[in-house]
Every structure is written in structure tokens, then in C-alpha cells.
Amino acid sequence: MRRVLLELVCAFIVAILIVAAAKTAGAAERYHRAHHYSHHHRHHHGRTHMDDSAGRPHAWCGWYMRQVMGVADTSFNLARSWTRFGRPASGPDVGVVVVWPHHVGRIVGRAGNGQWIVNSGNDGHAVRTRLRSVAGAIAFRWAG
């Protein structure tokens, strides 16, 4: 019985990761298009503080989360701004936006022993979904 339950939990986590990957694929495509434009624009027009015409800043985890969550307000480019997004969550949970002082991501799975599977942008200068501790998080927020 315990083995069956473990297999169900693993299958559920895999399903969540597949859904998260599908959702982030569109955002990743928008990022790559924006990055291509920014490379051209930055080198030919002298812009250095922003990476593209849509306003993707160098620290772009908040910008990426805006693409994923469909948030138009550019003030959410700043990770800390996500502390006022949606409604408060009582703690980490699948689907919750987790905010650290200088980073933001979305929890897409639970791994146990204090580790959560988090999808975020500008994680090592890339979009990544990986195990993370939520230690040091300053907010947990539900969308809507």
C-alpha cells in the first residue's frame, strides 16, 4: 500500500512538472524573442540598463514571473513587488508564488525534507525548475 501511494505521489509530481514545462515554454519563447531583439538594440542604440523594448531588466526573475502569470504591471519586474500579488498563502504549497528578498518563483511540486520544486527565471541566468529550500522567503502568495 505504501509503495502504491509513493508511486502515485511521484506520478503526480511528474504530471505537475510536465504542465509547468508546457506553461513556461511560451514564456521562454517570448524571452528568446525579446533577448534577440535586445542584443541588436543594445549594441546598435547604446542601451545598457534594459535588455529589450518590453522592459526586461537585467535582474529578470520578476519579469519572467509576469510572463508566466499574465501580469501586465511592470512594477512586478521587481521580485519584492510579488509580496503584494494575489492573496496571502499560509506557507509553501504547490501553485504558490514564493518571494525571497531578491528572487521570485512559483512552486510546482513538493520534494519533502523542506525542499520544494520551484520554477523561476534568472536562476543562474536561465529559466529553471529545480529543488529549492524556501528558507529566507518573505512571502507566499496565491494567484487571484
- pLDDT at residue number 87: 98
Contact 132, 116 (CB under 8 A): yes
pLDDT band (50, 70, 90) for residue 26 = low
Write the burial class of residue 26 (CB in 10 Å: 0-12 exposed, 13-18 middle, 19+ buried). Answer: exposed
Q: Transcribe 35-53 into DSSP letters.
A: HHHHHHHHHHH---SBSST
- pLDDT at residue number 27: 53
CATH number for 2-142 (one of 3.30.70, 1.10.8, 3.90.1720, 3.40.50): it is 3.90.1720
Write down the domain spans for the chain.
Answer: 2-142
Cell of 113: 525534507
At 43-101, the pLDDT tens digits run 333 333 445 545 678 899 999 999 999 999 999 999 999 999 999 999 999 999 999 99
At 124-141, the pLDDT tens digits run 999 999 999 999 999 999
- Whether the model pTM is above 0.85: no
d(CA 76, CA 68): 12
Look at residues 15, 24, 13 and name the one whose alpha carbon lies nearest to residue 116: 13
Give the HSE-up count for residue 4: Cα atoms under 13 Å, Cβ half-sphere.
Answer: 1
What is the amino acid identity at position 13?
A: I
Alpha helices in 1-144 (DSSP H): 2-45, 61-69
Residue 36 has pLDDT above 50, yes or no: no
